Chains A and B, each alone.
Chain A
Amino acid sequence: MGKNELLQGTLDMLILKAISLGPLHGYGVLLRIQQISGGALEILQGSLYPALYRLETRGWIGSEWGESENKRRAKYYRLTAAGRRRLREETEQWNRMTSAIASVLNAVSEES
């Protein structure tokens, strides 16, 4: 997996996680994901906004207009109750899957 590529569906989860730490504007979401992942995950900038709109349409995140650090009008996203539930489900599912995959990958040949 290249640096710029994300698994299908994981972007939504990452966005929910990023926002769960506190309201963010779109650019802030991008920065936070990069920051938390230590730069390992880079998101295609163009794909961020359709994802945000999708999440908002589904009612997992809400938005309101606020003022950014440099005094400009920016749209801030926050997690809704439904979004919080969704994040929990997705995290559990992700963990189950990664541990399953990990156990497959960690399996040791009986002959070796």
Chain B
Amino acid sequence: MMPRIRAFFSALLRRRRMEDDLSTELRFHMDAYVDDLVARGTTRAEAMRRARIEFGPVEEVREECREARGLRWPDELRRNVRYALRVFRRSPAFTIAALATLALCIGANTAIFSVVDAVLLRPLPYPQPERLTMLGASMMRKGGKTGDPTLSHTGENWFLVRDHASALEAAAFSGATGVNLAAGGKAEYVRQQRVSAGFFHVLGLGPALGREFTRDEDRPGGASVAVLSHALWTRAFHGDASVLGRPIMLRGEPYTVIGVMPAGLRTSTPADVWTPLRATTNGEGGGWNYGIVARLAPGVSWAQAEAQARILGEEAGRNLHRSAGLPPDVAVSMYLVPFQSGLTGEVRTPLYVIWAAVGAVLLIGCVNVAGLLLAQGASRTREVATRIALGGGRAAVVRQLLTESLVLALCGSALGVLFGYAGVLALRRYALETMGIWQSIELNARVLGATGAMALLTSVLFGLIPALEAARTNLRPLLDRGGARGSSGGPRRWPRRVLVVGEVALSFVLLVTAGLLVRTFVNLMSLRPGFDSSGVLTAKISLLDARYSTSREVNRLMDQSLARIRALPGVTGAAAGLGLPYERPLNDGLRVLDGPGADGEFHSVNLFYITPEYFRVLRIPLLRGREIADSDGPRTAPVAVVNEAFVERFLRGQDALGTHIGGEKDSRAIVGVVGTVQQRDDWAAFVAPAPRPAVYIPVTQTEDGFLQLVHTWFEPSWIVRTSGAPQSLIPGVTRAVEAVDPLLPFAGFQTMDEVRAGSMRAQRFHAILAGTLGALALLLAAVGIYGLVANSVAARTRELGIRMALGATNGSAMGGVIAEGVGLALAGVAAGIGLSALAAGLLRSMMFGVSATDAATLAATACGLLLVAAAASFVPALRITRLNPAETLRHE
């Protein structure tokens, strides 16, 4: 066996040489024989003739030699490929249509798969990433539903895990906050993340320079130390290793640099500098504000770790019942969430939807190419029949036709990779920011491998049915009667019909999806903003800064800088405030203190602190009472302005003006009511803006502690209205703030229109993507129906000719043909409605203002699709009017 295998491979590898050797050998044989014959007295010409005759057909001998070497299979493949290329050259229209279809479909899939790879498949860039986990928690009322799961924890939870989870090496972290870094006389806005001691150790990454935090540094009152990212270290310190031990000013406080992380490191969020978490159990730690990441301890299995998490969950529940007043019938559970899914949780659903959609487009493409092949097969029936009749073997015919499919699929994939690359470039621009993907989107070996697998799969998908169909060919009638002249239209037609129905059904689902996502986006766009976003420039400044820890300092900064900004040419108004429309604002719990609404319940409201001009600059209408005024100061009576939604929701018809609202101790009088503006409701990327009850308080009436707390999470905005282009104000505004405090950098400028667009970026991206895929699917379905009807007309020429000779009108003949196309589309739509019901479950969370089973969208899509189907059937049916019955019949 071994020598045979070796001979096969060496023959395959040295194919060319073997052919040359064989030629030399055979030529030697001939020459020697001719020489012998000549030596025996024959003339050379006669000798050569005899040698050729006695040797037999040389090509056959060579073939037998190759076969003896076991080279039949690769030979047949070569022959088949060569033949396939000839077939494609002969029918360029078919080839171009099929290749374009495949290239588009495979390209789209390649591009989307590159995102799938970046989000779901590529391991995180840490050692042994499969042993990293996050801790999730959810609360459940006995007998009720499970509450929303969260990946955030209280300080108490974290200490519980840190001190008792023996199966896990755990670390906690906060989100990143923008802060001001001052070093070497320059100020820079950087992203700071606070992490517990051992955080980098859990991730499995040591610092490039220095060390990470110790437990001593990670407790309240510990030494102020910082670890720099490689990027910040090179940018701000020119990669100087002596930075270790040097002080930097972070948010106005001195920190000592103790480490630099390696280049390219990324934690749960982009960050430039890390400081100790210093978790607490009150204040920030009293809420669910810490993420917990853990590495399974050596030798611990996931099941063991899961079991421990469950026990810790019960313990955490007991703690919460005791300390946080959690009702006793609410149980807390903790569980493990693999780090990768924990980091990508939010983008998974939309990504699955998109992936399913491109998959459907690929299926539709396959169906179309299969249809094209079937049509081509019909015109090649005679060729196939002849081959079978000549002893070609049905299996050989199937192999030949599958080879054609494979060649087609491979060429299509090669083109598809080009399209895919264009798609990757586009996705890099749009998907990264929309979906918060942080592993790079690229065409790597895995993506290309998937494309190759796709090519193989599709070639079988679209090639098998036509190939088997062709091999079924019944010889006698075809060879007897000369092929496509049967009045029944030759080969069976149901496989193609089934394909067209399937393709219409899939297109329907895609179009409905696109319709729903476009309507979601339109609904969001047409939301009344409640203010005037044009001509407004906004800029954020981080006041998480020791120098701005008092209300007095914050007010001084705002007063002085706003005064300078108002003096700039073109500025018609300037204000500052915590929270912009469309953004996710600060949430706080407030009670109504008098009147019928005073039920003692705390309501969750959006809380804003503002300077007096805030409403005028944003043009939020004042409905009743007065705005916040310059006269509202720290020593005057506390006031608040609420929005209309607040009045409707909480005040139960009582007069808003004069009603008091407040928290545990404080109390404010409502002095005005303004219109409601759109706000984002949640941190999650896919939650739409919505009008929510809001309370606005003057920044002059805020306490130091309140400001310090809210400034750890939020950055106040400077808001400037101008009569000119907002962008042109940037240098002036920058200088105005610099004049007040040269070490206070802006976190970035955005026009209010950009803020608005940014809040709908995800929905916009989904609408465009789904719309593109839907359009592609519609086009493919139309081409599919067109091809089917065109073929049907061509195959039934004779039958139609006879019918028209017998008096059928153009109209009735065309009607019959069109009815076929539309009938199939109807069946497809019916199947599609069923499929849409399944897709609705996946889409529900992405909808805004429209139900995932919206009847109007379904009906409109169905009508549109049927119209397109009718048009796609009508065009080829027109050919019937050009039929000449006499001509057709003469061909008999």
Chain A interface (Cβ within 8 Å of chain B)?
Answer: 25-27, 30, 44-47, 49-51, 53-54, 56-59, 68, 70, 72-75
Given A53-B68, A75-B25, A59:B56 Cβ within 8 A: no
| Inter-subunit contact B3/A49 (CB<8 Å) | no
CA distance A13 to B54 in the complex (A): 22
- Measured between C-beta atoms, what is the minimum distance from A7 to chain B in Å? 19
Q: Are B61 and A49 in contact, CB atoms less than 8 angstroms apart?
A: yes
B67 and A50: CB pair below 8 A? yes
A73 and B61 contacting across the interface, CB-CB below 8 Å: no
Which residues from chain B sit less than 8 Å from chain A, CB to CB?
Answer: 2-4, 7-8, 21-22, 24-26, 28-29, 31-33, 35, 54-58, 60-61, 64-65, 67-70
Which of chain A's residues have a CB closer than 8 A to the CB of B54? 45
Establish whether residues B7 and A56, one from each chain, have CB atoms under 8 Å apart when the complex forms.
Answer: yes
Cα-based distance from A57 to B1 in the complex (angstroms): 10
Q: What are 7 A-B contacts with C-beta separation under 8 Å?
A: A45-B29, A45-B56, A47-B56, A49-B64, A57-B4, A74-B25, A75-B28
Which of B28, B64, B67 is within 8 Å of A72, CB to CB? B28
Known: A46-B57, A46-B60, A58-B4. A26 touches B65 (CB 8 A): no
Complex Cα spacing A58 to B29, Å: 23
Collect the chain B residues with CB atoms within 8 Å of residue A27's CB.
Answer: 28-29, 32-33
Where chain A touches its partner, the secondary structure class is helix
Chain A residues closer than 8 Å to B58, beta-carbon distance: 46
Question: When the two chains form their complex, are residues B26 and A49 in contact, meaning their CB atoms are under 8 A apart?
Answer: yes
Residues from chain A with a CB closer than 8 A to the CB of B61 are 46-47, 49-50
A46 touches B56 (CB 8 A): yes
From the candidates A45, A56, A73, name the one contacting B55 in the complex (CB within 8 A): A45
Q: Are B56 and A75 in contact (CB under 8 A)?
A: no
Assembly CA distance A44 to B58 (angstroms)? 13
- Knowing A46-B57, A50-B65 touch, does A75 contact B4 (C-beta < 8 A)? no
User: Contact: B28 with A68, CB < 8 Å?
Assistant: yes
User: Do A57 and B3 have beta carbons less than 8 Å apart?
Assistant: yes
Query: CB distance B4 to A53 under 8 Å?
Result: no
Between A49, A59, A72, A73, the greatest number of chain B beta carbons within 10 A of the residue's beta carbon is seen for A49
CB neighbours (8 Å) of B21 from chain A are 75
Evaluate contact between A53 and B24: CB separation under 8 angstroms.
no
Q: Are A26's CB and B56's CB within 8 A? A: no
Residues of B contacting A46 in the complex (Cβ-Cβ under 8 angstroms): 55-58, 60-61
Nearest-neighbour CB distance to chain B for A74, whole angstroms, equals 5
Chain A hits for B57, CB < 8 A: 46
Measured in the bound complex, the distance between the Cα atoms of B70 and A68 in whole Å is: 29
Residues of the B chain whose Cβ atoms lie less than 8 Å from the Cβ of A26: 25, 28-29
Q: Which of A51, A56, A73 contacts B28 (CB 8 A)?
A: A73
Partner of A59, one of B4, B25, B64, B65: B4
Contact A50 B35 (CB under 8 A): no
Q: List residues of chain B with CB within 8 A of the CB of A68.
A: 28, 32
- The residue among B2, B54, B61 with the most chain A CB atoms within 10 A of its own CB is B61
Which of A44, A50, A68 has the most chain B CB atoms closer than 10 A to its own CB?
A: A50
Contacts of B8 in A (CB 8 A): 57
In the assembled complex, the Cα of A40 lies from the Cα of B36 at a distance in Å of: 19
A46-B55, A46-B61 given as contacts; is B68 within 8 A of A54 (CB)? Answer: yes
When C-beta atoms are compared, the residue in chain A nearest to B54 turns out to be: A45
Given A27-B28, A27-B32, A46-B60, 15 more pairs with CB closer than 8 A: A46-B55, A46-B58, A49-B22, A49-B25, A49-B29, A50-B67, A53-B64, A53-B69, A56-B7, A57-B3, A57-B8, A57-B69, A68-B32, A70-B35, A74-B28
